[in-house]
């Protein structure tokens, strides 16, 4: 009998935004695996720390953040091989993943390498998108409204078209694109509907009107654009 | 001192997909409030049941599901008034909300009616979108991919344009639109990338290739279209 590969979403950063299921699976895991930036403490492990039992085996994947893909791919190749070894010897492996495993989560890279060979379970987590909306107190979408998740690297024409069509949007990985996005949203008349969020739910959290956001922004910051104004949201009076 | 209005996401239905924070806040709440379809048990209350302490005061909002908005608006007006009364007498009120409070969550209607008058906290939850992706084992978006959340009621031209542009998409509230969506996705050559999910994480869960989905589908079913095939997902070899 091989073990099960379990990808577990940890939520946006506040350890209390982990699900009960994630906490239970982590606490009972014989083996956990997680990525870390080389030379630093793993953020995923830090979120999960209170639930990791003494004696749990830990597989650390040192994943460098580089522009070229090869070094990170090699890190996931190696991590997948080490996880496969544990699964083959009959141990379940719980992979810790910030946010949700299948929405920009690192677990996708291991899943792509190991699916088909082992039983898999994926445990969804709270995403940084809805955490940002919660902290900024900005409803994202109601009833028949649409919502777009857009990387900041999209070109101006694409962003303009897609922001124009969606009722609300989250622009991810803002970083150095902040100044460009501020100009673009200003030209579209959306500056007042735009809010900047960084580190939602964490001690270093920042929530600001986009006009006051720092430039450049940290890589993992978010701009929420909430045009959605479903009249049902308003009282009847 | 007035109480605090706390909107709490309960996740997609499996009570274990609630966050630790939601469970703690529900357990210690002097007053909880939740919507119910008239004459039925509240789904939100059922998810939270194990954490509700004996003696907790419960405000039930009977919200009819009608095409006209007025009856539901009136139900939220009345619910907001009863919640305001509890807040004014100094009690915190925890509002139970399926999924996430600010992504198609019923809490938005109370927030719109009570914000500004009382302190507010919003606790994000796991959405049915990422729960569906987890159960269908379909990664939604990686790296610089985009993701669209689209109501099934959008017209063909809009759906075609927006499905064409996004790397992945979730089509919500499929219901009677299923046959139309199946034709449209077939014409776009996306049928094989489309998966149908209903009741993700619940005992009645259904996950099927879209070609085999029931027609008509239940209202709260989802189609995931996962075109995203970031090459980084694949091993190097």
Please tell me which of the candidates A73, A122, A153 has its beta carbon nearest to residue B144: A153
| pLDDT at residue A227, as a whole number | 83
Query: Using a CB-CB distance cutoff of 8 angstroms, which residues of chain A are in contact with residue B142?
Result: 104, 108
| pLDDT at residue A68, as a whole number | 83
- A75, A99, A126: which is the final residue of a domain? A126
Min distance B224 CA to chain A CA atoms (Å)? 12
Exposed/middle/buried for residue B105 (C-beta within 10 Å: 0-12, 13-18, 19+): buried
| pLDDT one-digit tens code per residue, A106-164 | 999 999 999 999 999 999 999 999 999 999 999 999 988 999 999 999 999 999 999 99
Residue A17 sits in a domain whose CATH number is 3.40.1010.10
Q: How many secondary structure helices (H) and strands (E) does chain A include?
A: 7, 10
One domain for residues A115 and A12: yes
- A126, A147, A162: which is the final residue of a domain? A126
> Per-residue pLDDT averaged across B116-128, rounded?
97
| Whole-structure pTM value | 0.95
Nearest CA in chain A to B119: A137
pLDDT band at B236 (very low <50, low <70, confident <90, very high): very low
| pLDDT one-digit tens code per residue, A192-220 | 999 999 999 999 999 999 999 999 899 98
Look at residue A34 and tell me whether its pLDDT is greater than 80: yes
| pLDDT one-digit tens code per residue, B63-94 | 988 878 888 899 999 999 999 999 999 999 99
| pLDDT at residue B66, as a whole number | 82
Q: In chain A, which residue ranges form alpha helices assigned H by DSSP?
A: 20-27, 43-48, 70-88, 107-114, 128-136, 156-165, 178-187
Query: Using a CB-CB distance cutoff of 8 angstroms, which residues of chain B are in contact with residue A138?
Result: 102
Give the number of domains in chain B: 2
One domain for residues A93 and A169: no
Neighbours of B214 (CB within 10 A): 12
Is the CB of B126 less than 8 angstroms away from the CB of A126? yes
Residues A136 and A21: beta-carbon distance below 8 Å: no
pLDDT band at A233 (very low <50, low <70, confident <90, very high): low
Residue A159 sits in a domain whose CATH number is 3.30.950.10
One domain for residues B76 and B118: yes
One domain for residues B14 and B122: yes
- B110, B126, B142: which is the final residue of a domain? B126
One domain for residues B113 and B218: no
Look at residue B235 and tell me whether its pLDDT is greater than 90: no
Range of the domain at B44: 5-126
One domain for residues B76 and B140: no
Is the CB of A74 less than 8 angstroms away from the CB of B236? yes
> Per-residue pLDDT averaged across B143-157, rounded?
95
Please tell me which of the candidates A11, A72, A135 has its beta carbon nearest to residue B19: A11
Q: Which of B79, B75, B49 is nearest to B63 (CA)?
A: B75
Residues A38 and A74: beta-carbon distance below 8 Å: no
Nearest CA in chain A to B67: A143
- Measured between alpha carbons, how far is B214 from B120 in angstroms, rounded to an integer? 41
Look at residue B11 and tell me whether its pLDDT is greater than 60: yes
One domain for residues B113 and B170: no
Nearest CA in chain A to B135: A122
Residues A21 and A11: beta-carbon distance below 8 Å: no
pLDDT band at A58 (very low <50, low <70, confident <90, very high): very high
Is the CB of B16 less than 8 angstroms away from the CB of A19? yes
**Which residues, including other chains, have CB under 8 Å from residue A52's CB and lie 6 or more apart?**
A26, A27, A32, A45, A58
Please tell me which of the candidates B20, B102, B162 has its beta carbon nearest to residue A165: B162
Look at residue B228 and tell me whether its pLDDT is greater than 80: no
With H, G, I as helix, E, B as strand and everything else as coil, classify residue B48: helix
B164-189 b/e (C-beta count within 10 Å ≥ 16 → b): ebbbbbbbbbbeebbeebbebbeebe
Look at residue B117 and tell me whether its pLDDT is greater than 80: yes
State percent of chain A over pLDDT 70.
Answer: 96
> Per-residue pLDDT averaged across B108-114, rounded?
94
One domain for residues A117 and A23: yes
| pLDDT at residue A69, as a whole number | 82
> Per-residue pLDDT averaged across A3-12, rounded?
98
């Amino acid at each position: 009998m091989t073990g099960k590969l379990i990808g577990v979403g940890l939520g946006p950063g506040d350890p209390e935004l982990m699900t009960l299921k994630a906490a239970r699976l982590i606490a009972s895991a014989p083996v956990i695996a997680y990525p870390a930036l080389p030379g630093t403490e793993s953020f995923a492990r830090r979120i999960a720390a209170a639930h990791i039992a003494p004696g749990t085996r830990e597989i650390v994947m040192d994943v460098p953040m580089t522009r070229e893909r090869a070094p990170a791919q090699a890190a996931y190749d190696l991590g997948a091989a080490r996880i496969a070894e544990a699964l083959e010897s009959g141990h379940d492996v719980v992979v810790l993943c910030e946010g949700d495993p299948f929405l920009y989560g690192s677990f996708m890279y291991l899943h792509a390498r190991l699916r088909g060979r082992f039983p898999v379970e994926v445990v969804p987590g709270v995403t940084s998108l809805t955490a940002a909306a919660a902290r900024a107190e900005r409803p994202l979408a109601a009833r028949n409204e649409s919502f777009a998740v857009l990387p900041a690297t999209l070109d101006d024409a694409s962003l303009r078209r897609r922001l124009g069509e969606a009722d609300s949007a989250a622009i991810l990985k803002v970083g150095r694109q902040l100044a460009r996005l501020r100009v673009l949203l200003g030209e579209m008349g959306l500056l007042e509907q735009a809010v900047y969020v960084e580190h939602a739910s964490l001690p270093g959290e920042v929530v600001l009107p986009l006009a006051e956001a720092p430039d450049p922004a940290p890589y993992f910051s978010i701009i929420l654009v909430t045009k959605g104004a479903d009249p049902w949201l308003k009282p009847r009076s």
